[in-house]
């Protein structure tokens, strides 16, 4: 959505019933909004080898974390607390940062990423 600001996209998606919006920004971190409460997550400082697959890793880790918390459903997202959300995006950011330290789209195994 190049013609819109991230905040505009977030507001529009929330207006359409989306509970959780995450706008990843590479090394700049992410802009996260849970039911309209917006916060920024800084990027991780790592020795970057290759960024291929980092965004995919972030999304996969976010979904994995939601599932592990029993929140991978509409009802789960409605019940997701801000503390849980912050832990989830931290987990996803850590997983994506690990991917950036490797050549190719080499996602970390679950055991390599600290627990949610």
Give yes or no for a contact between 60 and 53, defined as CB atoms under 8 angstroms apart. no
Does the CA dihedral 7-13-95-48 come out positive or negative? Answer: negative
**DSSP states of 11-62:** HHHHHTT-SEEEEE-GGG-EEEEETTEEEEEPPP----S--TTHHHHHHHHH
Residue 56 annotated as catalytic: yes
Which one from 50, 56, 67, 90 is the annotated catalytic residue? 56
Alpha carbon distance 102, 111 (integer Å): 16
Catalytic residues: 56
């Amino acid at each position: 959505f190049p013609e819109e600001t991230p905040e505009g996209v977030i507001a529009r998606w929330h207006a359409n019933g989306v509970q959780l919006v995450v706008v990843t920004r590479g090394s700049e971190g992410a802009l996260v909004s849970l039911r309209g409460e917006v916060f920024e997550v800084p990027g991780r400082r790592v020795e970057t080898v290759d960024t291929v697959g980092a965004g995919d890793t972030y999304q996969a880790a976010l979904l994995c974390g939601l599932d592990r918390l029993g929140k991978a459903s509409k009802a789960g997202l409605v019940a997701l607390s801000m503390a849980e959300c912050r832990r989830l995006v931290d987990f996803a950011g850590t997983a994506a940062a690990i991917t950036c330290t490797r050549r190719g789209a080499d996602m970390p195994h679950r055991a390599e990423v600290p627990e949610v």
